[in-house]
Amino acid sequence: MIVTVTANPSIDRTVELSEPLSRGSVHRAHAVIDQPGGKGVNVARVVAAAGLDTLAVFPADGSDRFVSQVSAVELPHLAVPFGGAVRTNITIAEPDGTTTKINDAGHLMSLAGSNALKQAIIERAQSATWLVLSGSLPPGMPDNWYSSIIEAVAERGCLVAVDTSGAPLAAAAKARPGLLKPNGDELAELTGADGQAMEAAAGAGDPTVATEASRTLAEQTGGAILTTLGGAGALLTTPDGVWFATPPAVTVRSTVGAGDASLAGYVIADLRGGDPEARLRSAVAHGSAAASLRGTSPPTPDLLDEAGVTITRLH
């Protein structure tokens, strides 16, 4: 069972344009898609599409439209009431695959709501192989909220993966989760590296800077580091070694949710007994397939091109 947590869920509205976005101009949408989202929900949808047991846990009142959307895609879920409305995030997608995101901060989370959500997560962690903590924290939640959950479930036997940014990521890293999934910028935040230089070098086939930064972080956490580097691929660092993967060729439609699909691909392969190379291959194949789809649509197994992923073990 893979339990995902989305502390700040969202209705993801994708506005597709038929021409490049021009700031200050008037555009007519080619299409508008509303999907239930938030990083943990995105991960759970990919896991469900793979045919594995999952449960998406998030704060939402039963009457919220978001809950209806989650039910409509037949995703197993637990909605914990908190007395607020789920936010709507907007993505503007251009024909060449460029995406511009406008994210709402989310509704203020009360202490009672935060505690109720945390208790629900701790209870569900008892039956989980993986607990995935994903996305931003809503206003009102302390930066150490994810790290407090990592500490609370430490004796329950489940592996914990974290995908967030900023102060919550820094706090979570100190709690030593089993897996961190930063992107290049987030890895740079944690290690003091140059994120732009890191991705540029990796895109040119030289992941040295990213490798050094990920090794530094892995030594601090004691766990695995899955660093997604956009179109350059991804890097997996574990106590046993470092692997770099380049993705298969795809036509990019929307990069929103691609990192979430990568994280899902990793835990799916791990649940199936895959070694580090298999986990990284699955992660990159899932992320690439997600980038070829509209909005935050989850990739299905038939869309994966694992054979097109090239993996190099680094020394």
Distance CA 187, CA 229 (A): 10
Helix (H) or strand (E) run with residue 19 in it: none
What residues does 89 pair with on adjacent strands? 12
- Which DSSP symbol is given to 73? T
C-alpha distance from residue 67 to each of 81, 92, 158, 283 (Å): 11, 24, 27, 28
Distance CA 20, CA 36 (A): 26
Contact 82, 59 (CB under 8 A): yes
Predicted local distance difference test score (pLDDT) of residue 97: 84
Q: Specify the fold of 2-314.
A: UDP-N-acetylmuramoyl-L-alanine:D-glutamate ligase (3.40.1190)
Those residues with Cβ within 8 angstroms of residue 64's Cβ, 6 or more apart along the chain or in another chain: 79, 85, 86
The first and second tokens of residue 49, run together, are 């599409």
Contact 161, 33 (CB under 8 A): no
User: For residue 94, with 0-12 CB atoms within 10 Å meaning exposed, 13-18 middle and 19 or more buried, which class applies?
Assistant: middle
Contact 257, 163 (CB under 8 A): no
* Helix, coil or strand: residue 189: helix
pLDDT digit string (tens) for the chain, length 315 residues? 999 999 999 999 999 999 999 999 999 999 999 999 999 999 999 999 999 999 999 999 999 999 999 999 999 999 999 999 999 999 999 998 898 999 999 999 999 999 999 999 999 999 999 999 999 999 999 999 999 999 999 988 899 999 999 999 999 999 999 999 999 999 999 998 888 888 888 888 888 889 999 999 999 999 999 999 988 899 999 988 999 999 999 988 888 889 999 999 999 999 999 999 999 999 999 999 999 998 888 999 999 999 999 999 997
Contact 39, 295 (CB under 8 A): no
Distance CA 225, CA 255 (A): 21
Predicted local distance difference test score (pLDDT) of residue 195: 80
Distance CA 121, CA 127 (A): 11
Predicted local distance difference test score (pLDDT) of residue 193: 86
Hey, where are the domains in the chain?
Answer: 2-314
The residue whose two tokens read 């879920």 is 77
Predicted local distance difference test score (pLDDT) of residue 221: 93
User: For residue 309, with 0-12 CB atoms within 10 Å meaning exposed, 13-18 middle and 19 or more buried, which class applies?
Assistant: buried
Distance CA 28, CA 172 (A): 42
Contact 288, 255 (CB under 8 A): no
Those residues with Cβ within 8 angstroms of residue 247's Cβ, 6 or more apart along the chain or in another chain: 231, 233, 234, 284, 285, 287, 288, 308, 309
Selection from 228, 280, 227, 231 nearest residue 251 by Cα: 231
- Which DSSP symbol is given to 226? E
Contact 57, 78 (CB under 8 A): yes
